[in-house]
Chain A
Amino acid sequence: MKIRILPSPAHALPWAILALLLALPFFSGPYLVYLITLALTFAIFALGYDLLFGHTGIVSFGHSVFYGMPAYAIGMLAHTVFDIKNAVVLIGAALLTGIVLGALVGWICSFTRGIYLAIVTFALAQISELFIFSDPRGITHGENSITGIRPSAVTIGDFSLNLFSGVGLYYLTLAFLLVVLAGMVLLMRSQWGQVFHAIHQNEERLLSLGYNTRPYKILAFSLSGAISAIAGSMIAFLNNIVSPAMVDWQVGAEILLITVLGGAGTMAGPILGSFVVVFTQTYASSLVGGGNWVYVLGALYILVALFLPGGIMPMLPRLLPAFSSGLARLLRRKP
């Protein structure tokens, strides 16, 4: 029997990545920290989307509502209507907006299903965006966006954390991602999660077994809305601006693509997908210049759809054993 001192690479990998992410701000420049904060935010958003899409099997084209509207709630509270700068209050308000909007949209959507439901969410996203554009009583600033959202620093004892700049926001986002990830894992093991999976697999059967699926679908929308709201508020703090583009349905489409690209219904897939998309956008644009990164990302979408059924993540376990055995062979070789 072989005694293994180190766990297998597949098990060690997530912890290694976490350690790397924790240590990152100590050795990298502010730009990389910004990029990774962006990717982490999209990862939170994609996880929230995947709760509805990959786990419950509901396709939404209007998730920008749960991402943009909470950000607008923050914008209104911090700038246009009130002048609240307390970060805890702002994030709490955003979460509440996400939950309420999720329940509302979920209730409307529970009357339809499948592709029709997707179109209903799309229409709701369009209506929300047009509402933002129409600038009722000057509270959304229409096309001009709400700028200058700067929450004050959070002080615990004599330790203070800046939430609108670099490293502080980076750790906050990372912490939120870990909380969301842990919450998702626990949720999927709970009875709620089991019902979500059952709705995904066969809703008719669940109905004929006597389950009322509607409250569960509304619950899934609501939880997904809450998680997306966290992502929206992080972006509002990161960019210090809330623009109508955040409510545009194309954001919802992008998060759908990120989730499909990474692998829907897995925990790591949406996170991987958002890192791939953010880094492709950034580095492809510096490599090929101008707006030509679109070619790279477009080709990536096409190639993944054609050659990696189920997204990138389900393919990794097949790749990892080959990688780890290769690594082991390399380590065993005597110099």
Chain B
Amino acid sequence: MANVLVTQCLNGITIGLIFALVALGLTIVLGLMGVLNFAHGSFYMLGGYVTYSVFAAVGNFWLGLVAAMLVCAVVGILLYLTIVRPLTKRSPLEALLALVGVSMISLQAARTIWGPDPKLLPIPFGRVHIEMFGLDFQYPVYFFVAMGLAIAVLAGMSLLFRHTDIGIRCLAAIQDHEIASCMGVNVDRVSCLMFTVGMAVAGLAGGLAGPVFSVYPNMGIELIGMMFVIAIVGGMGSIGGTVIAATIIAMTKSISSIYISGNIADILAFTVLLVILLVRPRGIMGIASVMD
């Protein structure tokens, strides 16, 4: 029993960190531009498919991850310049309308290009046999690598926000657009950069998730709703809060699924998030921001 519990805990941490990577870009874009980026799930999906295609062509999974980040960054810049930037100055719901359009089109395009069936990516590395503290189980090494990579990216982003000029400008813009731009922050340029970075990270998350969940057209749409919840419950523009919220939801799901059926486990996870939001109305680490 203890073996199962520890395995589910490790799964929960891995999946939670991947969720945190996806929600990271969402929360930054929401904080900076006030736009609920519905097309974010499409970038997660695009990342998965690019990783798969590169792996199928070259045979190197890690090269696939790099390619996924690059492709998502380029598509992200294009999307920002053509659709997101003209709409940020208007109602956020019109931006949502356009971004849902983008996500519908990309979903259908993925179905046409890669087909509706799930694409399986083999799990790199083998399994490690863990035998300590009276535990005895096997666990894929890849999950540890994915965890490490996700932690590295999240920590890097966190350092970027605290210790670099551009990160501090970004934080200032999240707290108050107008004051920040009066103080000489080029909010438009910061937004463009952060949108691109967010999309690249979403692409990375899609690639990392490939061997865990396999790659299929609906993978982004299925996830996007829960990502919105994580981004808001974590607190807008807060990396730490996002990681905490993502880990809470993934751990609740994976641990409770040992004891109860999957649907009830999901109900429990959403109820936990709902209660957090009602107790802390601006999210776990939230600050008063533009969306109030």
Contacts and interface: CB of A to CB of B under 8 A. Distances in A.
Q: Verify that A and B bind, or say they do not.
A: yes
B121 interface: no
Nearest to B266: A130
Interface stretch (B100-108, B128-136, B195-203): B100-108
Contacts of A253: 100
Contact of A122 (B225, B261, B278): B225
Given A119-B232, A130-B263, A134-B267, A298 B94 contact: no
Contacts of B36: 115
A116 B93 contact: no
A115 B232 contact: yes
A301 B107 CA distance: 15
Nearest to A258: B97
B278 A111 contact: yes
B274 A305 contact: no
B274 A302 contact: no
Interface string B18-56: 000000000000100000100000000000000000000
A256 interface: yes
Contacts of B283: 116
A211 interface: no
Contacts of B228: 61, 119, 122
Contact of B97 (A116, A119, A127, A304): A304
Most A C-beta atoms less than 10 A away, residue of B102, B225, B278: B225
Nearest to B109: A295
A297 B95 CA distance: 16
A133 B270 contact: no
A302 B96 CA distance: 9
B274 A124 contact: yes
A213 to B, nearest CB: 16
Contacts of A257: 96-97, 100
A116 B229 CA distance: 9
B237 to A, nearest CB: 13
B233 A119 contact: yes
A102 to B, nearest CB: 18
Interface string A87-120: 0000000000000000000001001101110011
B111 interface: yes
A116 B266 contact: no
A319 to B, nearest CB: 19
A114 B270 contact: no
B270 A260 contact: no
Contacts of A120: 274, 277-278
Q: Would you list the 4 A-B pairs with minimal beta carbon distance, nearest first? A: A301-B101, A305-B98, A298-B104, A298-B105
